[in-house]
Protein backbone atom coordinates (compact mmCIF):
# COMPACT_ATOMS: atom_id res chain seq x y z
CA UNK A 1 0.00 0.00 0.00
CA UNK A 2 1.60 3.25 -0.99
CA UNK A 3 -0.62 5.79 0.71
CA UNK A 4 -2.78 6.42 -2.31
CA UNK A 5 -6.46 5.65 -2.14
CA UNK A 6 -7.52 2.31 -3.61
CA UNK A 7 -9.66 4.03 -6.20
CA UNK A 8 -10.11 7.71 -6.85
CA UNK A 9 -12.49 9.49 -9.16
CA UNK A 10 -11.83 13.17 -9.88
CA UNK A 11 -14.52 15.24 -11.54
CA UNK A 12 -15.89 12.31 -13.50
CA UNK A 13 -18.54 13.40 -15.97
CA UNK A 14 -20.38 11.12 -18.39
CA UNK A 15 -22.48 12.70 -21.10
CA UNK A 16 -24.58 10.91 -23.71
CA UNK A 17 -25.42 13.44 -26.36
CA UNK A 18 -27.63 15.93 -24.54
CA UNK A 19 -28.05 13.88 -21.36
CA UNK A 20 -25.57 14.25 -18.50
CA UNK A 21 -25.74 10.97 -16.61
CA UNK A 22 -22.87 11.64 -14.21
CA UNK A 23 -22.03 15.22 -13.36
CA UNK A 24 -18.60 16.09 -11.94
CA UNK A 25 -18.47 13.39 -9.27
CA UNK A 26 -15.34 13.11 -7.17
CA UNK A 27 -14.72 10.47 -4.54
CA UNK A 28 -11.75 8.60 -3.10
CA UNK A 29 -12.07 5.14 -1.60
CA UNK A 30 -9.49 3.90 0.87
CA UNK A 31 -8.41 0.31 1.22
CA UNK A 32 -10.77 -1.78 3.30
CA UNK A 33 -13.67 0.67 3.17
CA UNK A 34 -17.22 -0.56 2.96
CA UNK A 35 -19.08 2.22 1.20
CA UNK A 36 -22.54 2.46 -0.26
CA UNK A 37 -23.99 4.52 -3.08
CA UNK A 38 -27.67 5.36 -3.04
CA UNK A 39 -29.91 7.62 -5.03
CA UNK A 40 -33.27 7.71 -6.75
CA UNK A 41 -33.74 6.01 -10.10
CA UNK A 42 -31.84 7.65 -12.90
CA UNK A 43 -29.37 9.22 -10.52
CA UNK A 44 -26.46 7.86 -12.51
CA UNK A 45 -25.27 5.19 -10.09
CA UNK A 46 -24.76 2.38 -12.60
CA UNK A 47 -23.23 4.77 -15.12
CA UNK A 48 -20.79 5.85 -12.42
CA UNK A 49 -19.92 2.20 -11.83
CA UNK A 50 -19.44 1.77 -15.56
CA UNK A 51 -16.94 4.61 -15.48
CA UNK A 52 -15.20 3.14 -12.43
CA UNK A 53 -14.72 -0.20 -14.16
CA UNK A 54 -13.71 1.00 -17.60
CA UNK A 55 -16.88 -0.11 -19.30
CA UNK A 56 -17.80 3.49 -20.02
CA UNK A 57 -15.20 6.10 -20.88
CA UNK A 58 -15.90 9.30 -18.97
CA UNK A 59 -16.50 12.38 -21.09
CA UNK A 60 -14.21 14.25 -18.71
CA UNK A 61 -12.53 13.67 -15.40
CA UNK A 62 -9.83 11.30 -14.19
CA UNK A 63 -9.65 7.91 -12.54
CA UNK A 64 -6.80 6.63 -10.44
CA UNK A 65 -6.14 3.26 -8.88
CA UNK A 66 -3.39 3.33 -6.25
CA UNK A 67 -2.14 6.57 -7.66
CA UNK A 68 -1.88 5.11 -11.16
CA UNK A 69 -3.83 6.89 -13.84
CA UNK A 70 -6.43 4.59 -15.37
CA UNK A 71 -8.51 7.07 -17.36
CA UNK A 72 -9.17 5.76 -20.84
CA UNK A 73 -8.03 2.23 -20.09
CA UNK A 74 -9.99 -0.79 -21.27
CA UNK A 75 -12.08 -2.88 -18.85
CA UNK A 76 -9.60 -5.72 -18.81
CA UNK A 77 -6.91 -3.33 -17.63
CA UNK A 78 -9.13 -2.19 -14.78
CA UNK A 79 -9.58 -5.84 -13.90
CA UNK A 80 -5.83 -6.31 -14.00
CA UNK A 81 -5.53 -3.50 -11.48
CA UNK A 82 -7.82 -5.38 -9.14
CA UNK A 83 -11.12 -3.68 -9.78
CA UNK A 84 -13.96 -6.15 -10.18
CA UNK A 85 -17.66 -5.56 -10.63
CA UNK A 86 -20.99 -7.28 -10.79
CA UNK A 87 -23.87 -6.27 -13.04
CA UNK A 88 -27.40 -5.32 -12.07
CA UNK A 89 -28.94 -8.29 -13.85
CA UNK A 90 -26.67 -11.30 -13.38
CA UNK A 91 -24.63 -11.86 -16.52
CA UNK A 92 -23.39 -15.36 -16.15
CA UNK A 93 -22.29 -17.69 -18.91
CA UNK A 94 -25.46 -19.75 -19.08
CA UNK A 95 -24.05 -22.61 -21.11
CA UNK A 96 -21.13 -23.23 -18.78
CA UNK A 97 -21.30 -24.96 -15.43
CA UNK A 98 -21.23 -22.91 -12.23
CA UNK A 99 -17.67 -24.03 -11.56
CA UNK A 100 -16.57 -23.11 -15.08
CA UNK A 101 -18.09 -19.66 -14.64
CA UNK A 102 -15.91 -19.11 -11.60
CA UNK A 103 -12.91 -20.55 -13.39
CA UNK A 104 -13.24 -17.96 -16.16
CA UNK A 105 -12.08 -15.08 -13.99
CA UNK A 106 -9.30 -17.25 -12.57
CA UNK A 107 -7.99 -17.85 -16.07
CA UNK A 108 -7.83 -14.22 -17.04
CA UNK A 109 -7.58 -11.26 -14.69
CA UNK A 110 -7.03 -13.53 -11.71
CA UNK A 111 -4.23 -15.50 -13.27
CA UNK A 112 -1.29 -13.43 -12.18
CA UNK A 113 -2.74 -11.63 -9.24
CA UNK A 114 -1.56 -12.46 -5.76
CA UNK A 115 -4.34 -13.08 -3.36
CA UNK A 116 -5.39 -14.80 -0.18
CA UNK A 117 -5.66 -18.58 0.01
CA UNK A 118 -9.43 -18.20 0.28
CA UNK A 119 -9.48 -17.46 -3.42
CA UNK A 120 -6.97 -20.05 -4.48
CA UNK A 121 -9.21 -22.03 -6.81
CA UNK A 122 -12.82 -22.56 -7.92
CA UNK A 123 -13.66 -24.83 -5.02
CA UNK A 124 -12.58 -22.35 -2.39
CA UNK A 125 -14.49 -19.53 -4.08
CA UNK A 126 -17.59 -21.69 -4.42
CA UNK A 127 -17.29 -22.52 -0.74
CA UNK A 128 -16.93 -18.84 0.11
CA UNK A 129 -20.16 -17.86 -1.61
CA UNK A 130 -22.04 -20.99 -0.66
CA UNK A 131 -22.57 -22.57 -4.05
CA UNK A 132 -20.42 -25.68 -3.63
CA UNK A 133 -23.42 -27.96 -4.12
CA UNK A 134 -24.31 -26.36 -7.43
CA UNK A 135 -20.83 -26.62 -8.92
CA UNK A 136 -21.72 -28.99 -11.73
CA UNK A 137 -25.02 -27.44 -12.76
CA UNK A 138 -25.25 -25.24 -15.84
CA UNK A 139 -25.42 -21.61 -14.76
CA UNK A 140 -28.73 -21.11 -16.53
CA UNK A 141 -30.33 -23.77 -14.33
CA UNK A 142 -29.77 -22.22 -10.91
CA UNK A 143 -32.20 -19.83 -9.24
CA UNK A 144 -31.92 -16.04 -9.76
CA UNK A 145 -30.70 -15.42 -6.23
CA UNK A 146 -28.08 -18.14 -6.70
CA UNK A 147 -27.10 -16.42 -9.94
CA UNK A 148 -26.56 -13.26 -7.92
CA UNK A 149 -24.14 -15.16 -5.72
CA UNK A 150 -22.45 -16.58 -8.81
CA UNK A 151 -22.01 -13.05 -10.15
CA UNK A 152 -20.16 -12.17 -6.99
CA UNK A 153 -18.12 -15.34 -7.22
CA UNK A 154 -17.12 -14.56 -10.80
CA UNK A 155 -15.97 -11.12 -9.72
CA UNK A 156 -14.01 -12.64 -6.84
CA UNK A 157 -12.29 -15.00 -9.26
CA UNK A 158 -10.39 -12.05 -10.68
CA UNK A 159 -8.76 -11.76 -7.22
CA UNK A 160 -9.68 -8.11 -6.83
CA UNK A 161 -8.71 -5.52 -4.29
CA UNK A 162 -11.89 -3.57 -4.89
CA UNK A 163 -15.35 -4.90 -5.51
CA UNK A 164 -18.13 -2.91 -7.15
CA UNK A 165 -21.50 -4.45 -6.33
CA UNK A 166 -24.47 -3.22 -8.36
CA UNK A 167 -27.78 -3.88 -6.64
CA UNK A 168 -26.98 -7.40 -5.59
CA UNK A 169 -29.93 -7.46 -3.20
CA UNK A 170 -32.61 -6.43 -5.69
CA UNK A 171 -35.65 -8.66 -5.65
CA UNK A 172 -34.60 -10.63 -2.58
CA UNK A 173 -36.66 -11.18 0.55
CA UNK A 174 -35.86 -9.37 3.80
CA UNK A 175 -34.04 -12.37 5.18
CA UNK A 176 -32.08 -12.91 1.95
CA UNK A 177 -31.05 -9.26 1.86
CA UNK A 178 -29.75 -9.51 5.41
CA UNK A 179 -27.84 -12.68 4.51
CA UNK A 180 -26.35 -10.94 1.48
CA UNK A 181 -25.27 -7.99 3.62
CA UNK A 182 -23.61 -10.37 6.09
CA UNK A 183 -21.81 -12.09 3.22
CA UNK A 184 -20.55 -8.78 1.87
CA UNK A 185 -19.24 -7.80 5.30
CA UNK A 186 -17.52 -11.16 5.63
CA UNK A 187 -15.92 -10.83 2.21
CA UNK A 188 -14.63 -7.40 3.08
CA UNK A 189 -13.22 -8.59 6.39
CA UNK A 190 -11.70 -11.89 5.33
CA UNK A 191 -10.39 -10.87 1.93
CA UNK A 192 -9.23 -7.40 2.88
CA UNK A 193 -11.28 -5.85 0.10
CA UNK A 194 -12.67 -2.41 -0.53
CA UNK A 195 -16.36 -2.73 -1.31
CA UNK A 196 -18.57 -0.16 -3.00
CA UNK A 197 -22.19 -1.18 -3.00
CA UNK A 198 -25.10 0.32 -4.93
CA UNK A 199 -28.43 -0.57 -3.46
CA UNK A 200 -32.08 0.32 -3.53
CA UNK A 201 -32.76 -1.46 -0.24
CA UNK A 202 -31.61 1.71 1.50
CA UNK A 203 -32.45 0.67 5.06
CA UNK A 204 -30.36 -2.50 4.96
CA UNK A 205 -27.49 -0.77 3.25
CA UNK A 206 -27.36 2.03 5.78
CA UNK A 207 -27.19 -0.52 8.57
CA UNK A 208 -24.07 -2.19 7.21
CA UNK A 209 -21.90 0.37 5.45
CA UNK A 210 -19.47 2.72 7.08
CA UNK A 211 -19.84 5.49 4.55
CA UNK A 212 -22.50 6.39 2.04
CA UNK A 213 -22.57 8.58 -1.06
CA UNK A 214 -25.82 9.94 -2.39
CA UNK A 215 -26.22 10.66 -6.10
CA UNK A 216 -29.10 12.69 -7.48
CA UNK A 217 -29.50 13.51 -11.17
CA UNK A 218 -25.85 12.72 -11.74
CA UNK A 219 -24.42 14.90 -8.97
CA UNK A 220 -23.04 13.84 -5.63
CA UNK A 221 -25.18 15.54 -3.00
CA UNK A 222 -23.87 13.87 0.15
CA UNK A 223 -20.88 11.86 1.29
CA UNK A 224 -20.36 10.74 4.87
CA UNK A 225 -21.40 8.42 7.66
CA UNK A 226 -24.91 7.01 7.36
CA UNK A 227 -26.17 8.80 10.46
CA UNK A 228 -25.18 12.21 9.05
CA UNK A 229 -26.34 11.58 5.51
CA UNK A 230 -29.89 10.67 6.43
CA UNK A 231 -30.26 13.97 8.25
CA UNK A 232 -29.04 15.95 5.22
CA UNK A 233 -32.01 18.05 3.98
CA UNK A 234 -31.06 17.72 0.30
CA UNK A 235 -31.01 13.94 0.62
CA UNK A 236 -34.35 13.91 2.37
CA UNK A 237 -35.83 16.04 -0.36
CA UNK A 238 -34.43 13.84 -3.09
CA UNK A 239 -36.01 10.78 -1.56
CA UNK A 240 -39.25 12.50 -0.58
CA UNK A 241 -38.53 11.69 3.00
CA UNK A 242 -40.15 8.25 3.27
CA UNK A 243 -37.25 5.82 3.34
CA UNK A 244 -35.01 8.28 5.16
CA UNK A 245 -37.36 8.85 8.11
CA UNK A 246 -37.82 5.09 8.34
CA UNK A 247 -34.10 4.63 8.75
CA UNK A 248 -33.80 7.47 11.27
Partner 1 sequence: MSTLPATRWERLVYRVRTFLLDTEHLGRDLLVLVALAGWALALPHYGSEFVVSMALTCLMYIALATSWTLFCGTTRYLSLATAAFFGLGAYVSALFIDSWGWLAVIGAGAGIASLVAVLMGSAVLHLRGTYFAVLTFGMTELIRHAIAYWEKQVTGTVGRVLTVVPERDTVYLTMLGLAVLAVAVSIVVRRTRFGLGLMGIGADEQRAQTLGVNTRVAKIGGFALTAAFAGAVGAAMSVRWTYIDPATVFNPFIGFQTVLIALIGGVATLWGPLIAAIVFSLLAESLRLQAPQLYLMTLGLLLILSVLYLPGGLASLRWSTLRQWRDDTQAWWKELREPKSRKAANTVQGTRA
CA distance 120 to 241: 45
Q: Which residues bind partner 1 (CB under 8 A)?
A: 53-55, 74-76, 78-80, 84-85, 87, 91, 93-96, 104-105, 107-117, 120, 154, 157-158
Closer residue to partner 1, CB minimum distance, 113 or 200? 113
CA distance 86 to 79: 12
Closer residue to partner 1, CB minimum distance, 109 or 128? 109
Cβ–Cβ under 8 Å, residues 80 and 109: yes
CB of 29 to partner 1, least distance (A): 18
Cβ–Cβ under 8 Å, residues 82 and 160: yes
Q: Around Cβ 240, how many Cβ atoms within 10 Å?
A: 10
CB of 75 to partner 1, least distance (A): 4
CB of 155 to partner 1, least distance (A): 8
Closer residue to partner 1, CB minimum distance, 166 or 223? 166
CB of 232 to partner 1, least distance (A): 33
The 8-class DSSP code of residue 133 comes to G
Closer residue to partner 1, CB minimum distance, 84 or 201? 84
CA distance 119 to 159: 7
CB of 74 to partner 1, least distance (A): 7
Which strands form 68-69's sheet, in the order they lie side by side?
19-29, 7-16, 60-65, 68-69
CA distance 215 to 41: 10
Closer residue to partner 1, CB minimum distance, 129 or 222? 129
Amino acid sequence: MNGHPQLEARGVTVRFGGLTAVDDVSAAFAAGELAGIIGPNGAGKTTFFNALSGVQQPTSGELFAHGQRLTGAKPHQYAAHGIARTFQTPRVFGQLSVAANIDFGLQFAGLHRKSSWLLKDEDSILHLIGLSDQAGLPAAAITPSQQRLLEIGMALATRPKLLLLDEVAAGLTEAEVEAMAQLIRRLRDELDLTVIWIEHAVTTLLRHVERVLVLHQGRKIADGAPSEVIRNPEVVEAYLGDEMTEAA
